[in-house]
Structure formats: structure tokens, C-alpha cells
Structure 1
């Protein structure tokens, strides 16, 4: 508990930073504005979802750069600077022109600026404050996305009802402006050398771990890349199109917002429970069964006659997997590769997560536009969840790392 006594302020700031950053907010607003935008402009769902695809690909490609900057210059200026940029650009969606190129351009700018306000940065600080309780601490930090998913859809629905879909963006941008930014300015920082827990540094105070180049030479890095990509391809579009999936089963936008809230509860449960178990057991052995749950969820969502309770169950299981997957990236990056180049390595592992999450909504949208339902994509997701989870079992034992590893070879 001494780690929590020392690091609770940074953990709180990181939780709020994650909750109000570029990771959850766009993905919780877009599902609710897709319908109104389609009605107003007649754009197909794949084209509308293409905005978040552009955002995700650009942000993911820049994730290693932002991570390397955090390694080199410190995580505080990178995270806070990106958060400020994200606030400005997200609020500016009020001014999106009524054309697809204009819509896509706004998402591109958001990707250029916002990636530093995601777990790519916040998790570096948390991982440096916590070692024995790292899984639980990262799980608590990532609860931020659950909080966003519980609160933001309801706020966005109210904003849309009051002033149209454009109003949802500046209203939601008030969350990072009024909550996350002030707390980050007060409390967010890396630990000093004397504050770092055992397991983060060696006896000489040097950070333990591999360089990005060394990590890429081993099979574990590429196993994680493939596993993360498959799971992101399966999940990202299911979340973005959840409101439409619910509608195809005959339910209202208010019901859809409730389902997204249940997804958020699943994310919360997955992050806390899986993070706690990661600290006590071999993490891949926990992650594999966790990834089988969304395979069941995708199957439950097939068709158009499921009851609301079945859809709620599917949403919860999908959320549980999303919570576990985020823990997998952050925890295993630190556990298998160390902290010496954590930002760069996490950023590289975030690339398939971000790109997969960005492409997935397009795939779901294309299937919907061409077949009238999401069933084919949901069945493909069943297989991708199962294979992605099984790949983690090949990672093997945790390695013993030293500070000299980052400078060797």
C-alpha cells in the first residue's frame, strides 16, 4: 500500500486524463451523432465512421513519436500539451462544414494533436510510480474510459436533443477543460529517482528495460502486435456501431445510450478485476479466457430479434474484453520490456490497437451498408477474439531485465 500512499495523486490525475482524453471521448460521441449526421447529409455510415478511422490511423502512427518524446523530455509536458490541443480541436467540431472532406479533415487534425492525451503518456507515469501493484494501478487508471462511457453518452444525447449533433462536441470538451486539465497541472508528474519503487530501477537508479530496437528483435513483441491487432479489429467497430446494432434489434436511442453505459460497466469490471489478477498470476493466462467472453458477446448480438437483456449482456461482455485488452498492452509492455524505453515501446504496441480500432468501424459500416446488418462482421469478430487471446499464451515467462539491457548491442 506504500505505492498507493506515494502515488495516489498521480494516479488520480492519470485516471482523469484518460477519462477526458482522446482515447474515450471521440468513441463515445461518434456513435450518437452518426444517425443525425446520416439524416442531415445523407452520408452512408461507412463514410461517417471514416472520420474516426482517419483519426485513429494518424494518431496510432504518431504514438511511438509521442512515447519517445515522453521518454526523452518527460511525460508531463507531452501529456498536458496534447490534452490542451485536444480540448481546442474537439470543441471546434461545432464548426465542421457540411462536406465529407471537411468532416474528415477535422478528424485528421484531432489525430495529429490528441494522441498524447491517451494512455500512451498517462500509463508511463503510473508504471513508474507502481511496481508490485502495477496491474491494479493501471486498471484503476484505465477506469477513466469507463467513467467516460457511463457519463459522456448521456450528456451527448442531452446536448444533441437540445441543440443538434454539433453541440455535443463543445459540451463534451468541457470535461477535459474543467476537470482533467486543472488536476493534471496540480498533480501529474514522474517520480524522482528516490521515489521510484523497487523493480523500476536497478541498484544504481537506472531505469530497467529494453530499447525499442531490442524489443522488436524478439518474438514477444510481434506476438503482441498480432494479438492486439486482431482484438482491436473485432472490438472497435462493435463499439462505434453499438447504437445502430441496438436500433436494428428494434430499440430506441435512449436504450442505445443505456447499452453503452453497460459496456462501460463491463470495461470497468474488466480493468479492475483483470489488473488485480495480473499482479498475482501469469498475465497471459488471465487474458486468454477474458478474450473468450467477447466472442460470446459478438454471437449474442447477431440477428435482429434479441431482447434488451441479451443485448445488455453482450454489451457488458464486450466492455469486459476492452478493459482487459487495455490492461494487456500497458501491463505487458512494462513487464516484458521494462521502463527504460516504455513510451516508445508502448507507442509501438498502441499502433495496431489504434489502427485496428480505426479500421474496424469502416469494416462494420461496409458490412452494414451492403448487407443491411452487422451479422457477417460479428461472426468474424468471434474468431478474431478467440485467436487474439490464444496468441498471448505463447509469450512465455516474464524475463529478468537490467538497466544495461537498454544500452547493450
Structure 2
């Protein structure tokens, strides 16, 4: 009988521990898992370009066009998805997005023509992944966190890198041992598996659980919504586009997309294969970029809470440009130490640009910052789409990727200059401003 009183005491202690954990952290954890589940497709194009070319005879330019459409829709969907999340809720939008990714990837096993690749890879998966783009991260952190926003932004952004780390080596082995269709079905299954968790645990607002955002004042009230989702997204773009800061952020982020998703993410594995490196080995190197990306993005979030985001962006882009200029000399049939140094450095820098960019959108555009960031992210994907196709065409015509690396290096240094020019446009908007009331 002595054991009886211990059980209530144990429960009391457990309840105390549970109450100390703010619900925002659980929401962030579910969002992280959702981002990992949707990240499988980001790992897919690099390992499937050569298998699709070998089976169907499609040129690298044609396959890259499908990737470009995906990247473009990925970006253009983001601001509308951010507005839809504000109108209909995060949980509902994310669940539908994961279903689109699963359908688009799974149905590729039945395709026979290049237009089907464009429709599935480009349109369906583009719409699905775009609805879970980095505007999703900005929405979650904007609603659920006041303190630790930069850190959480970094962690959630790293979710995509974690997905790449998990999927890339697995997909490369599946393609080599069982064909590309097994890889496509694996991505479809992973996205589908996350849907029940999102419906079960993801919450739209702190008020749904009777709490305030983490670090917010007890009487904090969220700003009211203005108009419908499309109206809000377009209104935010119209207002933001009248400011120099928007164009500087969008220009730098377009170059960011061109030098990451469009270039390295799509063409690193085929480029390494051109130099005699086995595709599973090249995929493992790209996965290592994802591993270091996790550390780099979290560290960038921590720095964003403590340093001027303009300075951080300037350093990130400048160092990325210098690394791309030396990349052509690093490729070989085997992995050399110099290539590992590049992988480590590029991984740390990969999406380290996201936390300071989100912070600057919030600083300049107030409560409409997440939606404005959606448009800035659209420019990121526009740059990625151009780079993916242009690089594939360059490879078809020149027989190598060298010129693409040099152009990307020069563009990254240009992005550093654009970031530093933000100091001349330093006109922050009050945090409570509505997207319609933001001053031009």
C-alpha cells in the first residue's frame, strides 16, 4: 500500500515538467518533421537526371526545365500560401501541401513523355512544396515566438537540410540498386506519412491552446487580418515593392536561389559524375552539405538575434562567391580533402541567409513581414529556376559546367554588395503596422 501515494506525486511532478514546456516548442517540432518529410523531393532531381536521360533519352535541358518550373512555382506559391495560412490555418494548408507532394512524386512512375514530367515534377510538386516553403517557417515563428525567433527560424530552416541529409544517400542507393521508380515512391511515401502527425498536433494559433506566443506579453493581441488571402498577398507586394529595401532583399535572395537550389542542388551530382565520380558518392557529398547546413543555419539564427542582419548577409554572400570561384578545380573521380573543405564551408553557408532575411522582412514590413518574405522567397526560386535551366543548357552545349560555377561566384559577390546597400534604406516599419498601412 505504500506505493499508492507515490503515483499521484509522480503525476504532479510530470505535470509540472510538462507545464514548463511552452506549446510553441511542440508546434515547432511538428513543423520541423513536416519540413523533413517534404524535403525528399529536394533531394530527388540530382539523383534522377542521368537515369531519366538514360531511359527516355530526354536532354539535360529538358529535364532541368521540369526542375525549373518546380522551383518557380515553389517560389510563386509561397506568398499566397503564407496568406492562406493566415486565412484558413497552418494545419490545413500544410496537410494539403504534403498530399500534393506525395501525388506528384508517386505518379511519376507511370509517365512516358517529358510533358508528364513537367506536369508532375513541375506543377504538382511545385505547388505542394511551395505551400511549405520558407514563408511557412516565417509564419510559424511569427505567430508562436517573440523570443528566440531567430534561433527557431534557423532550426526550422534546417529541417529541409535534415531531409536532404536523410534522403539523398538513400535515394542514390535505391536508384543504383532498384531503379529510379523506387526512389520516387519513397519520396511519395515519406510525404504522405507526415500528414497524420500534422493533422493531430500542428496548431494554427497560440489562442487555440489558450496561451500567448512564447515570450509575448500576457495581453498581446494578434493584428487583425485584412481582406482575403490573394488580396492580402498582392497588397503586401504592392506596398513592399515601393521601397528600395524590398528590391535589395529580393535581388540578393534571387542570387541565393540561383547558387543553391538551382545550381548546386540540381547539378552538383551530374557535374561530379562528369569527372568520373560515382553518383552515390556525389550524393553523399551533397548530403554532407545538408549536415553542415543544419549547424550553419542554427548558428545563423543565433547570430541573427545578436548582430545586424545586413552585415551577416554581406559576409555570407561574399564568402559563398569566393568558394564557387575555386570549385571547378576541386572536381575529381575521387573525393579529395580540398573538396571536403568546400563541402563543409558551403554547407555552413547554404541557407544561413534565411534567418537574417526573415528578420529584415519583419523589421522593414512589420506584421506583413511573413507575406513579404514569401515574395522575397519567390525571387529566390525565380533565380533558382533560371539557373537550373541555364546550367543544363550550358552543359549540353559546352560539355562541362565550368562557366556556370564562375558566373555564380561573381553573382554571389554582387549579392553581398546589395546586402550592404540595405544600410542606405534603413527605414524600419512599426511592428503593429498592417500590410495596407505600411508606408511607401
Q: Shared fold (TM-score greater than 0.5)?
A: yes
Which string of whole-angstrom CA distances, capped at 9 and with x for unpartnered residues, describes residues 172-200 of structure 1? 2222222x323322221233354125679
Greater Rg over alpha carbons, structure: 2
1:352-394 CA distance string (max 9 Å, x none) = 1111112211121112111111111101111111111221122
TM-score, L = length of structure 1 = 0.90
Query: Are 2:182 and 1:155 aligned?
Result: no
**Cα deviations across residues 83-111 of structure 1 (Å, max 9, x unaligned)?**
222222222222222x2222212122322
In 1: Cα distance, 2:225 partner to 2:77 partner: 24
CA contact (8 A) 2:138 2:373 kept: no
Question: 1:228 Cα shift?
Answer: 0.8
User: TM-score of the superposition, structure 2-length normalised?
Assistant: 0.84
Name the counterpart of 2:138. Answer: 123
Asked if 1:241 is matched to 2:267, the reply is yes
CA gap 1:110/1:122 in 2 versus in 1, 3 angstroms: same
Distance 1:65-1:361 versus aligned 2 partners, 3 A rule: same
Give the deviation of 1:322 after TM superposition.
Answer: 2.1
Contact 1:79 1:116 in 2 (8 A): yes
Out of 227, 250, 255, which is 2:252 matched to?
Answer: 227
Say whether the 8 Å CA contact 1:74–1:190 is kept in structure 2: yes
Q: Is the CA contact 2:361–2:369 (under 8 Å) kept in the aligned structure 1?
A: yes
User: Residues 304 and 272 from structure 1, CA distance in 2 versus in 1: closer, same or farther, beyond 3 angstroms?
Assistant: closer
Report the Cα distance in structure 2 between the residues aligned to 1:398 and 1:202, rounded to whole angstroms.
28
User: What is the alpha-carbon distance in structure 2 between the residues aligned to residue 406 and residue 286 of structure 1?
Assistant: 26
Which residues in structure 2 correspond to 1:1-400 (within 5 Å)?
5-21=22-38, 24-97=39-112, 99-107=113-121, 108-178=123-193, 180-193=194-207, 194-197=211-214, 205-206=222-223, 212=236, 213-235=238-260, 236-303=262-329, 306=332, 308-339=336-367, 341-396=368-423, 397=426, 399-400=428-429
> CA offset at residue 400 of structure 1?
4.9
Contact 2:134 2:377 in 1 (8 A): no
Counterpart CA distance in 2 for 1:317 and 1:275 is 17
How many angstroms apart in 2 are the aligned matches of 1:200 and 1:246?
52
Change in 2 beyond 3 A, CA 1:217/1:85: same
Q: Unpaired runs of 5+ in structure 2?
A: 1-18, 227-231
The 3 A distance-change label for structure 1 pair 57 and 405 is: closer
Deviation of 1:41 (Å):
2.1
Q: How far did 1:114 drift?
A: 3.6
Counterpart CA distance in 2 for 1:170 and 1:3 is 41
Question: Aligned equivalents of 2:90 and 2:345: distance in 1?
Answer: 33
Change (3 A) 1:103 1:321: same
Q: How many residues align?
A: 403
Q: Single out whichever of 294-303 and 2-11 deviates more from structure 2.
A: 2-11
Structure 1 88/100 Cα, relative in aligned 2: closer, same or farther at 3 Å?
A: closer
Counterparts of 2:408 and 2:362, CA distance in 1: 28
Shift of 1:404: 4.3
CA 1:204–1:268: 2 relative to 1, 3 Å:
closer
User: Per the alignment, in what secondary structure is the counterpart of residue 131 of structure 1?
Assistant: coil
Return closer, same or farther for 1:148/1:215 CA change in 2, 3 Å cut-off. Answer: same
C-alpha separation between the residues in 2 aligned to 1:146 and 1:205?
Answer: 31
Report the more deviating stretch, 290-299 or 44-53.
290-299
Q: Which moved more, 1:310-319 or 1:7-16?
A: 310-319
**Alpha carbon RMSD of aligned pairs, Å?**
2.7
